[in-house]
Structure 1
Amino acid sequence: MKRQSFICILFFLSGLSLYGQSIESRIAPPAGYVREKCPANSFDTYLRSLPLLPEGNKVHLYNGQLKKNQAAAYAVVDMEIGNRDLQQCADAVIRLRAEYLWSQKRYDEIKFNFTNGFPAEYKTWAEGNRIRVSGNRVEWYTTGCRDYSYKSFRKYLDMVFMYAGTASLSKELTTVPYAALSPGDVFIHGGSPGHAVIVMDVAVNPETRKKVYLLAQSYMPAQQIHILVNPANSLLSPWYELSSKATGKLYTPEWVFEKKDLKRFNK
């Protein structure tokens, strides 16, 4: 019995070392850089505290198959994505923002527009209403079942994923200068096709004041959210350098953005 207990403890401790790692604890900033301080209840802290799957895990699609371009990913975020082809690029950004707000019980702020402009408000959903879509017509109808549970919240998100995208999300966000980049900001190109990646963390060199940042994405088909490698600088990867040039291109593994594509949620 004592031997079995000892083995169980070893397995437990090894499990902690494998599964207890967050973005902050596993991905160290480059030499000379330190993470910027941020409030404990901020979106910045939420993002850098997200758990990662153990090193060596590959990116999977919603149906369990492997993503074809595994070289794009540095690490995989430990978050379920459902079993439908819904949580793609803009949806992953929406997911992270909504999860943060839900965890803070800031229900009034969870609202995303469908591509046709319909405002899908979480609180309306949680108070017992559902959304009916018929062609381009969208309306609320009453079910009478008030439900703020996480299960209901995920169903709300799936509805949003189905009818929102880069085109709608890009209109909701506020454009910010590249030099002002901070965690939670989004590089987004709205359209069909379009793409979006989110800034997960920022570190600064105290002496030079130069900054570096991490990016994450989902893609098509729907797939696990993953931290991106830096295809333009393998020595700095997965970090990206915040260059002094306010214009130009940002090269990510599967999309090329303009620096002017940087936008922000209202905080």
Structure 2
Amino acid sequence: MRTVHAIQLLTLCAGISACNAAGHTLPDTPAADVKAAAPATVGEIPLPAGYARIPQAPGTFGAWLRKMALKKDHTVYLYDGRRKANQEAQYAVLDISVGDRDLQQCADAVMRLYAEYLYTSGKEQQIGFHATDGTWMDYASWRQGYRFVLQKGKLSKQRLAQPSIDRVGFMQYLQTVFAYAGTLSLSRELQTVEATREILPGDVFIRGGSPGHAVIVMDVARNTAGEKVFLLAQSYMPAQNIHVLKNPAATGPWYPASFEGKLITPEWIFSQSELARFPG
């Protein structure tokens, strides 16, 4: 667990075991999904029989997530290079850095992916997140040399550095966001999705607080009857590789959107009411 600042701004993830709980069966998942060659991107992850990926317009967050590269090695490593103790939760591992500090945990992984999408899409002016104390930490200010400094129990924005637009500065900005934002602050920024049948790539199941957790919807598919299935990805604590989750009740990683009551993932249980979406 990362170090907690004196004013306890950090909202940390904490887990519960779902290994012995009843899951959400997806009987249509064929054995071929398990035996197929390892996919190179999220969009290549095999589908359950009878399903097709829902269309995503070019340039959208969902389209970007679908192109996310996957590592050939399915091992999840912690930020310090150690193997994660639980190697049974992941179906695949995203090819994106975790950093060398215990910062990129659950909500941080969601913010990392959304910020990377905006950054690589030329939408840098839209990058920004609230700290747990409510301070707006925008990347546009960071690029101009402003930094977010803890003073008297609250963050303040001060111009302390030279303007910088390179990727090194972008990653330094994200490290600061990860240190002062978390599930609670992110949950306040997202908009509730009223029904799981409306689920889309880029949506987030999130429980704000301490303990809290967040997982992101990486892809969504639908069959001819209109039934949807979706993929989830997470980081956890300690900070670790972002990974696509297995469905504990199925042979593959797809979860049915028709689940009732609780969404059971390998390391957390969410409710239907905890589905949310980035505004805009």
Q: 3-state DSSP class of the match of 2:40?
A: coil
Which consecutive unaligned segments of at least 5 residues does structure 1 have?
1-17
Higher helix share: 1
SS in 2 for 1:47: helix
> Which of the residues 34, 41, 63 maps onto 1:22?
41
Q: Which residue is equivalent to 2:229?
A: 212
Once the two structures are aligned, what percentage of the paired residues are identical? 48
Equivalence for 1:13: none
Q: Note the aligned Cα RMSD (angstroms).
A: 1.6
The question of 1:136 aligning with 2:153 is answered: yes
Secondary structure, counterpart of 1:139 in structure 2: strand
Equivalent position of 2:253 in the other structure: 238
> In the alignment, which of 55, 58, 61 is matched to residue 40 of structure 1?
58
Asked whether the 8 Å contact 1:74–1:228 carries over to 2, the reply is yes
Superposed counterparts of 1:89-128, under 5 Å: 89-128=106-145
1:175 to 167, 192, 210: 192
Kindly provide the CA deviation profile for residues 170-189 of structure 1, in whole angstroms up to 9, marking residues without a partner as x: 01100012221100000000
**In structure 1, what is the Cα distance between the partners aligned to 2:168 and 2:147?**
14
Task: Name the SS of the counterpart of 2:134 in structure 1.
Answer: coil
**1:255 corresponds to which residue?**
268
Spell out structure 1 runs of 4+ moving beyond 2 A.
none
**Pick from 44, 62, 66: which aligns with 2:83?**
66
Deviation string 1:174-230 (CA, Å, 9 cap, x unpaired) is: 00122211000000001111000000000111x211111000000000000000000
CA spacing shift, 1:65–1:144, aligned 2, 3 Å: closer
CA shift, 1:134, in A, is 2.7
Equivalents in 1 of 2:113, 2:50: separation in Å?
A: 29
Alpha carbons 1:90, 1:165 under 8 Å: kept? yes
Q: Which residue identity is paired with 2:219?
A: D
**Judging changes above 3 Å, is the alpha-carbon distance between structure 1 residues 20 and 244 closer, same or farther for their aligned structure 2 residues?**
closer
- Distance between the aligned counterparts of 1:144 and 1:170, measured in 2? 31
DSSP 3-state at the match of 1:193? coil
Q: Provide the aligned length of Structure 1 versus Structure 2.
A: 243
Match of 1:82?
99
Whether contact under 8 Å (1:59, 1:76) holds in the other structure is yes
Secondary structure in structure 1 of the residue aligned to 2:187 = helix
Counterparts of 1:194 and 1:180, CA distance in 2:
23
Which structure ranks higher in relative contact order (CA pairs < 8 Å, sequence separation ≥ 6)?
Answer: 2
SS at match of 1:131: strand
The one-letter code of the counterpart of 1:94 is: M
Give the whole-Å Cα distance in 2 for the aligned partners of 1:141 and 1:164.
18
Distance 2:258 2:154 in 1: 45
Distance 1:136 1:173 in 2: 25
Residue 38 of structure 1 aligns to a residue in which SS?
coil
| Distance (Å, rounded) in 2 between the aligned partners of 1:93 and 1:42 | 16
Q: Which has the larger radius of gyration?
A: 1
Distance in 2 separating the partners of 1:50 and 1:175:
25
Is the 8 Å Cα contact of residues 74 and 91 (structure 2) preserved in structure 1? no
Distance 2:40 2:265 in 1: 24
- TM-score normalised by structure 1 residue count: 0.88
With over 3 angstroms needed to count, the CA separation of the structure-2 counterparts of 1:156 and 1:60, relative to structure 1, is same
Is 2:147–2:161's contact at 8 Å kept on the other side of the alignment?
Answer: no
Q: Which residue number corresponds to residue 5 of structure 1? A: none
